[in-house]
Amino acid sequence: MTHRSSRLAAFALATCFGTGAQAATFIVGSGTGCTHGTIQSAINAANNAAGADTIRLTRSLTYAAEANTINTGQELTIEGGYATCTQASPDTTSTTVSGLGGAHAPVFTISAPLGALIRLSRLTISGGDVDGSGNGGGIMFTGDGIVEITDSLITQNIAGYGGGIFVKGTGSHTELVLGANTVVGNNTARYSGGGVYAQGVEMSMTDAGNGSIMLNKAQGLGGIGGYGGGVYVYAADRPSYAYIGSGAPIFGAIYGNQALYGGGVAVGSAGSDAAELQLFTTDPTRQAFLGYNTASNKGGGIHASNAKSVVRLWNAVIDNNDAPDGAAVYLASAAGFYANFAGMHPVASGCSVGTDCGRISNNVADTGSSPGAIIHGESGSPIQFGNPPTTSLPDPRGGMVIRDNVAGSVIDGAGATNIIRSIIGNNTTSSDLIKQTGQTLTVYDSTIAGNTIGGGSAILRTASSNVGIERAILWQPGSTSWSHSGGSLTIDRTDASENGSLGGGFAAYTFDPLFIDPAHGDYGLRAGSGAIDFAMAGLNQDRDAFGRLRNVDLPNADNPGTRDIGALERPAVLPLVLNGDFDPNDLRLWDTVTAGTTTRDATQNASGAANSGSAHVTRTNPANGQETQGVSQCIHLPAPGTYALNGWGRGTGSNIVLGDKARLRWEYRGTGGLNCNVGVPVASGWLDLSSSTTWHRPAQPALIEVTPADWGNSPSIKVILTAVETPGAIGSTNAWFDGITLDVIPANDVIFANGFD
């Protein structure tokens, strides 16, 4: 199938130059200027008029018990937004067309052969009621033409299939276009396709605006159907595709739907033709969102039913979905799932460098004693995150982040599973984190860390699977890295909290990767991490999980490579101090030295975001000259060199009265350990920032020279925020700190370039 833009352009040319017929306008309503008193009579008149016609539905009539039929091969627009028949241009109030009280039929039954273009605009279509297994409560469309719906609401309709909209293609050109500001919501299918049932069609919802498919149900009465609470993409006689973009800013594209299988979307095929869902970002300011959907059986977010059923995601979020198994995605019978893999749709928007390129987050698969997986793939179902690192072209997209989910396992696969430049963190599982049965499992350039894994379970558990792990970080202290029966392991340049199961040696190492802030899901590497430049450069200029270029060679005294392992490449040595501006609403990444003395003060600020606050160290009734060490930060160093410590400070004094001082103390240890507290400091000192109530940053920082002779196996500088009680000052000690930095001299990150670059 071709994409809508090319088809509509061809249709427009045919309309302009093919017939030359004059367009006609018919106005439905009561009073002056009206041409028809019913919708159907206006449709009949348009059928008999050549050329592109328009029917205006005014609010001077109430449209109830409607069951209209459109059968035309021409271009026809039916639009609301008119209060009276004399109103020259539409307003923003839609016209309601209701089927309540009428026949058990769709509100609009549309037959549109090849060449037809039917536009519905500024309408609320509701109250359609089709008996039993009938199709299309609000709209039933068959044919090989195009139906385009914009600025409309399809709601409170019911049918056997396609509660809101049912479309069945009779040829290879059928299209359903849900345009800007169109919502399909609160519809019910007794069997499948609560919001939309799309069979043998190219369906698209990619225009900007407030479009959403939300709060629909596919009941599956009597155990029949129950597929696709929001959308059922189904292929029988011909292929079927759904292209879904960013959707509404608040609810996203697919929100709050319910079904037995595929609460948000179900994808299925009854023969050799493909059925495919593509979910991707079209508005760069917001990622495509599929969330808060529920399946009572399988596939809370998405369900795909067989080998001809495919799901493709680019820069998309699957969030807060629920099902007993496959809370985010369930793949049955060799169905395929691909995220950020291969080429994007022509109207898709790439990811912003420095952010994730999609998430699977906050989904729940929990049924008590036997919870399922977040992503479940049956036998032969491929699961792919990211392009292989051997791709021959630079890839501007980042990777997937799988976080904050609750389930038995995060991934339970039985087809080839490839986890590439992805982060799997902060999930909670009652069993093994990732399970794989048969076929291959690969983990490349990825980070798996910070998850809560059930007791006695493993990070990876495989049966008869060949496993490949390269340039990865598997950091789950207390859990076995790999438990297996049969299969082989290929591993290289990997850091694991437990490496005995991986063979140890020069392939699987064990050292703390020094993540930036794992408690808050930040699995970037601190500057002193041994994972930096731990591997040789790749053959291609590929990207990390946040879309940043790999192979950034940083000064590092210990590792001779140029490529970081794990999902994230550190782009520069700086910043060394973390949360030095105290911008979050807490003192994260700073450790308490003296309990109860340090708080974040939102009323004082010298650097960072406006009104972002500072750290306040205070103590009641101190002795004259007494120092109060409030909080500290342990900074692991990348290489010998000269470091410059500085920051903003303020105290309590003035030009006349002496005040308490804000002081930075520092300690250097060559073998200080993870917490910078092993042994005595090799060197120490301090820098007074200010004793005045005015914020001040010294012109000359404290210079800390770390020589190769002083370099140890865990070199570090501890920075301590210290308030000093000035003799003669009255009351408690008070000092404020902001914008704390530890820079490198020279500032271009070159550290001892003659021997330690």
Report whether pLDDT(7) > 50.
no
CA-to-CA distance for 66 and 71, rounded, in angstroms? 16
At 630 the three-state DSSP class reads strand
Most confident residue range from 16-20, 154-158, 602-606: 154-158
Find out whether 169 and 147 touch, Cβ atoms under 8 Å: no
Binning the chain into helix, strand and coil, the percentages to the nearest 5 are 5, 45, 50
Residues of the chain above pLDDT 70, percent: 93
CA-to-CA distance for 393 and 32, rounded, in angstroms? 65
Q: How far is CA 38 from the centre of its chain?
A: 47
Enter the tokens of residue 318.
Answer: 């699957």
Residues of the chain above pLDDT 90, percent: 82
Give the pLDDT score at 19: 43
**What burial class does residue 354 get, using C-beta atoms within 10 Å of its C-beta: 0-12 exposed, 13-18 middle, 19+ buried?**
exposed
For the stretch 220-249, pLDDT in tens is 999 999 999 999 999 998 999 999 999 999
Give the pLDDT score at 729: 57
Task: Locate the domains of the chain by residue range.
Answer: 387-572, 591-745
Q: How confident is the model at residue 595 (pLDDT cuts 50, 70, 90)?
A: very high
Poorest-confidence range of 176-180, 427-431, 751-755?
751-755
One-letter amino acid of 130: V
CA-to-CA distance for 199 and 211, rounded, in angstroms? 21
CA-to-CA distance for 76 and 106, rounded, in angstroms? 19
Buried b (16+ CB within 10 A) or exposed e, 290-314: bbbbbbbbbbbbbbbbbbbbbbbbb
Find out whether 496 and 481 touch, Cβ atoms under 8 Å: yes
Q: How confident is the model at residue 618 (pLDDT cuts 50, 70, 90)?
A: very high
Report whether pLDDT(10) > 70.
no
Pick the CATH number of 591-745 from 1.20.1090.10, 2.60.120.260, 2.120.10.90, 3.40.109.10: 2.60.120.260
Across the chain, which distance is largest between two alpha carbons, in Å?
99
Report whether pLDDT(412) > 80.
yes
Find out whether 738 and 604 touch, Cβ atoms under 8 Å: yes
For the stretch 192-223, pLDDT in tens is 999 999 999 999 999 878 899 999 999 999 99
Report whether pLDDT(262) > 80.
yes
One-letter amino acid of 222: G
Give the pLDDT score at 391: 57
Strand-strand pairing, 515-517 and 522-525: antiparallel
Q: How far is CA 625 from the centre of its chain?
A: 53
Find out whether 550 and 569 touch, Cβ atoms under 8 Å: yes
H or E element, residue 188 = strand 188-192
CA-to-CA distance for 415 and 417, rounded, in angstroms? 6
For the stretch 565-590, pLDDT in tens is 999 999 999 999 999 999 988 999 99
For the stretch 99-111, pLDDT in tens is 999 999 999 999 9
Give the pLDDT score at 753: 40
Q: How far is CA 376 from the centre of its chain?
A: 19
Give the pLDDT score at 539: 65
Q: How confident is the model at residue 402 (pLDDT cuts 50, 70, 90)?
A: very high
